[in-house]
Structure 1
Amino acid sequence: MSSLPKRIIKETERLVSDPVPGISAIPHDDNLRYFDVAIQGPSGSPYEDGTFKLELYLPDDYPMCAPKVRFLTKIYHPNIDKLGRICLDVLKNNWSPALQIRTILLSIQALLGAPNPDDPLANEVAEEWKSNEALAIATAKSWTEQFAKEGD
């Protein structure tokens, strides 16, 4: 196994010993830079009661550059596209080496609770969110029901 930077080891240990409520991040046995992530939809959001699977990868130059994170569970959200890519400032231009895996996962969970159609990645979803929010939320709920329920 390749040696991991102390920083990654520390963050991983903390994720395991002091997990974030509603979020789990488990490193792959064969590559500790890859994490299987599960995020529970925040209560009061259209994603409530859903568990969303994501993959998180720490590139070689982490923490100088942001982790790569992608939704594996299909989700109807203006800031997450069909490929599961996430439009989130802390994963792009607002990344700072002071941030950690847990900070990123909390930001993603917060994004589920507060979709931002003004900074969209999925344009049609954002358009619907702006023109008919009730319908967009209903679609988000039905996708959550369909794709993000445990035991599927």
Structure 2
Amino acid sequence: MAALPKRIIKETERLVSDPVPGITATPSEENLRYFEVTIDGPSSSPYANGVFQLELYLPDDYPMCAPKVRFLTKIYHPNIDKLGRICLDVLKDNWSPALQIRTILLSIQALLGAPNPDDPLANDVAEDWKKDEKKAIQIAQEWTQKYAVKKD
């Protein structure tokens, strides 16, 4: 396996030494380009008290192209589909090599706090959100309780 670029090593070290509040990103021992990520749902959102598992993978051409990130925890959100794919501008058209793993994870956490049904990936959820936001938020809270709350 090729040596990791210095940039990935630096970013990884910073994630470990200076973690982002509410976010953990741990590189896999088998593949240092693959991270196991957890993001706490923002307290003022329907995802509060949830801990969401994600996977993040740095492709060979990172940082020239965006990391691949997806939710492993089921979530009811207009910008995250059933496969866990995320509709977020910085993961697609607005990616810049100046961005870092931590920036992306903060953007994903912010997306949990501010769902955008006008740029949906899960059209059915976005429709629900637009038709009856209260009900959609209630479903999001139920899913969070069901799938994302750690059982002691």
TM range (shorter): over 0.9
| Counterpart secondary structure, 2:75 | coil
Alignment of 1:58-137 (within 5 A): 58-137=58-137
| Counterpart secondary structure, 2:150 | coil
Q: Counterpart of 1:12?
A: 12
* Consecutive unaligned residues in structure 2, runs of 5 or more: none
Question: For each residue in 1:102-136, what CA deviation from the matched residue of structure 2 results, as whole angstroms up to 9, or x when unmatched?
Answer: 00000000000000000000001000100100000
Amino acid of the structure 1 residue aligned with 2:131 = S
Give the ranges of 4+ consecutive aligned residues of structure 1 lying more than 3 Å apart after TM superposition: none
Q: Please state how far the C-alpha of 1:55 moved relative to its aligned partner.
A: 0.2
What is the TM-score when the length of structure 1 is the normalising length?
Answer: 0.98
* Consecutive unaligned residues in structure 1, runs of 5 or more: none
Q: Counterpart of 1:38?
A: 38
What is the TM-score when the length of structure 2 is the normalising length?
Answer: 0.98
Q: Counterpart of 1:138?
A: 138
Q: What percent identity do the matched residue pairs reach? A: 79
Q: Which range moved further: 1-10 or 111-120?
A: 1-10
For 2:13 and 2:28, the matched residues in 1 are separated by: 13
Q: Counterpart of 1:56?
A: 56
For 2:150 and 2:107, the matched residues in 1 are separated by: 22
